């Protein structure tokens, strides 16, 4: 099965390496539009400069992995509150020669000293408030991003890691224009950023967020990139950068005169040099599920994304959504995600046994869960998880909580040889743990707050409690879809915390079932039901579809301005590509192709 579509003329992006980094202080490259069609390779990111860097690598003969690393390093400069070398992520790769889909787990891991009580206040025995845990050394996991880049470059790339870091270092040195989104992210974090000398100096010049249109330079990050380029990743994991990371975690750089009101003590963490020196990426087999003649590959644990998206798709496949009225199709979409989140929260953690994962993503399990959906009435939320030992619709006990982190970024790259990279990377909360490593120019992650702070009531054992060297559960869902001939059809991913799962699923449903083009599927208003009492929705979704869904018994939580900031590439046959990024969310993204088709 090969999906094709006719597109109206769309804005395309042709960026030259000559104009990528102009002499002197530079702006972000002007964003000419979120969609590009053509051939020879494609890049889609949330940022025009990162897309330009990736495209330049493709034009100079690099492959998709080379371009993805270079673009990701650039996002660490221009999107530093969402991703960077202080964090981690999940990298999914399609090999155009062999047709094999492989993954890299570059998720952050807890220090060897971490225990189930790390986020429990020893004084009163209660879990810390989220903000107290986040803005501390306790929340910092061993970063995995640099190790991910090294592993990907060695296994599939054609350029040295050092050469791929140089364009980002140049951007950091010369600077970029601050836009409204960047400024707002600083403003939202001003109280936390104001607690630390290093963060305040970089992101609160003069004590206030940088003004829109000003130039922001980060020479410390440029030097850090160049040090890694010169001395290899050992400088990060065993050398001077590692020492500075550990010093920051164990002795947070709290200002003598902090600005802004902060209600909590800044607690040190237990990360040690041995944690960084011992860090290794993992290469788990991707999740795999069939949907409407397509094969959907996703990320396995410690991400729950591949399993949850796969389970929801299997549930939805019991109905031909293309023949249903839109309200009924959306009813089944939100019910499927409530069920998959109930199961995810109960059963999926960093080390869920493979037989359990296989069961959750099986057609038999989907049939057992799909029978809970009543086309005439919404289920009461939260729904209980299914019982893995039973048959039929028998529920189990209560589900677990859902993490709410909203940071992260995503990029999608393909090259002329048929290789594809879908890569989601993060520092967790927007702004991470708020600590810039002094002299190094990058923020640290707060990824360990993705653990459950305390055992979930009624869940034994809790699959997502902290532990030594353990990786917390994630919702990141980088996804690659192949057609029934085993050829690429679509690659996509998004940021958005736990809403990542629902956003990826909704884009797939929009494109495959509801007859939308890829740009339409990306732009359509979104809703997220994560087994909570109310559906979280964007205003346009609530206005357009809310009355019909409410008539079925659904309720809505307060609207949110936006859900996700996705990127995607569709493959149209004969080397054709449609690259797509968000037209408006998070300021809009940028898509580019090597050879545009107007």
Catalytic residue annotation: 408
CA distance 440 to 44: 28
CB 413 within 8 A of CB 480: no
Evaluate whether 176 touches 77 at the Cβ level (below 8 Å): yes
Helices marked H in 371-413 — which ranges? Answer: none
Q: Describe the crossing of helices 145-156 and 161-174 by its angle, rounded to 10 degrees.
A: 130
> Residue 495: CB partners within 8 Å, gap ≥ 6?
82, 406, 407, 408, 409, 410, 424, 426, 564, 565
Four-residue CA torsion sign, 160, 412, 504, 433: positive
- For residue 580, what is the enclosing H or E element? strand 576-581
DSSP conformational letter for 564:
-
Kindly give the interhelix angle for 326-347 and 363-370, rounded to the nearest 10 degrees. Answer: 120
Q: Nearest 5°: phi and psi at 583?
A: -75, -25
Between β-strands 409-415 and 294-298, what pairing exists: parallel, antiparallel or unpaired?
Answer: unpaired
3-class secondary structure for 107-149?
Answer: CCECCCCCCCCCCECCCCCCECCHHHHHCCCCCCCECCHHHHH
- Residue 522 to residue 540: CA distance in whole angstroms: 14
SS3 521: helix
Measure the CA–CA gap between 293 and 402, rounded to whole angstroms: 31
E-assigned strand segments in 416-553: 420-426, 479-482, 488-493, 527-528, 536-537
Q: In 241-380, which ranges are E strands? A: 287-291, 294-298
Q: How many helices (H) and strands (E) does the chain have?
A: 20, 16
- What element of type H or E holds 227? helix 219-231
559 beta partners? none
Counting other chains too, the contacts that 327-331 makes at CB distance below 8 Å and 24 or more residues apart are 327/545, 327/548, 327/549, 327/551, 327/552, 328/375, 329/509, 329/513, 329/514, 330/527, 330/545, 330/548, 330/549, 331/375, 331/378, 331/549, 331/552, 331/554
Distance CA 580, CA 154 (A): 28
* CB distance 364 to 387 below 8 Å: no
């Amino acid at each position: 099965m090969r999906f094709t579509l006719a597109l109206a003329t769309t804005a395309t992006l042709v960026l030259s390496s000559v104009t990528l980094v102009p002499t002197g202080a530079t702006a972000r490259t002007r964003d000419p539009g979120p969609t590009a069609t053509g051939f020879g390779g494609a890049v889609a990111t949330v940022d025009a400069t990162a897309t330009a860097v990736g495209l330049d690598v493709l034009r100079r003969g690099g492959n998709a992995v080379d371009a993805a690393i270079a673009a990701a390093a650039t996002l660490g400069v221009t999107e530093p509150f969402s991703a960077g070398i202080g964090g981690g992520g999940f990298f999914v790769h399609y090999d155009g020669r062999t047709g094999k889909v492989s993954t890299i787990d570059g998720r952050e891991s807890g220090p060897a000293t971490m225990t189930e009580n790390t986020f429990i206040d020893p004084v009163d025995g209660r879990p810390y408030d989220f903000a107290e845990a986040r803005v501390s050394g306790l929340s910092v996991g061993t970063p995995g991003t640099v190790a991910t880049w090294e592993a990907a470059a060695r296994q599939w790339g054609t350029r040295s890691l050092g050469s791929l870091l140089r364009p980002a270092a140049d951007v950091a040195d010369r600077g970029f224009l601050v836009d409204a989104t960047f400024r707002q992210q600083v403003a939202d974090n001003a109280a936390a950023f104001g607690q630390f000398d290093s963060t305040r100096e970089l992101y609160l010049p003069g004590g206030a967020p940088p003004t829109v249109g000003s130039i922001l330079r980060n020479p410390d990050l440029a030097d850090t990139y160049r040090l890694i380029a010169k001395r290899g990743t050992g400088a990060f994991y065993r050398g001077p950068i590692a020492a500075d990371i550990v010093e920051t975690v164990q002795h947070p750089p709290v200002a003598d005169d902090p600005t802004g009101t902060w209600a909590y003590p800044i607690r040190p963490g237990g990360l040690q040099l041995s944690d960084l020196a011992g860090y290794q990426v993992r290469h788990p087999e991707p999740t795999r599920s069939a949907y409407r003649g397509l094969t959907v590959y996703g990320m396995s644990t410690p991400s729950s994304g591949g399993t949850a998206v796969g389970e929801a798709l299997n549930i939805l496949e019991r109905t031909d959504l293309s023949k249903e009225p839109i309200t009924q199709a959306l009813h089944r979409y939100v019910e499927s995600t409530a069920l998959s989140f109930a199961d995810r929260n109960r059963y999926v953690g960093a080390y869920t046994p493979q037989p359990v994962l296989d069961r959750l993503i099986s057609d038999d399990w989907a049939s057992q869960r799909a029978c809970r959906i009543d086309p005439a009435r919404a289920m009461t939320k939260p729904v209980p998880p299914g019982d893995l030992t039973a048959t039929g619709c028998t529920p189990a006990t209560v589900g677990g909580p859902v993490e709410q982190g909203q940071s992260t970024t995503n990029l999608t790259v393909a090259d002329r040889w048929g290789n594809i990279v879908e890569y989601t990377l993060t520092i967790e909360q927007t702004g991470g743990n708020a600590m810039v490593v002094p002299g190094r120019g990058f923020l640290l992650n707060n990824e360990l707050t993705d653990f459950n702070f305390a055992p979930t009531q009624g869940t034994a054992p809790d699959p997502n409690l902290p532990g030594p060297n353990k990786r917390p559960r994630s919702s990141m869902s980088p996804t690659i879809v192949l057609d029934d001939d085993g050829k690429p059809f679509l690659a996509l991913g998004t940021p958005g915390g736990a809403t990542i799962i629902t956003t990826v699923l909704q884009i797939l449903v929009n494109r495959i079932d509801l007859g939308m083009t890829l740009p339409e599927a990306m732009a359509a208003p979104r809703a997220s039901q994560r087994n909570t009492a109310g559906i979280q929705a964007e205003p346009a979704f609530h206005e357009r579809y809310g009355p019909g869904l409410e008539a079925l018994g659904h309720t809505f939580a307060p609207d949110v301005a936006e859900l996700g900031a996705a990127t995607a590439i569709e493959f149209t046959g004969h080397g054709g590509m449609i690259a797509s990024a968000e037209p408006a969310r998070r300021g809009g993204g940028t898509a580019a192709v090597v050879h545009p088709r107007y």
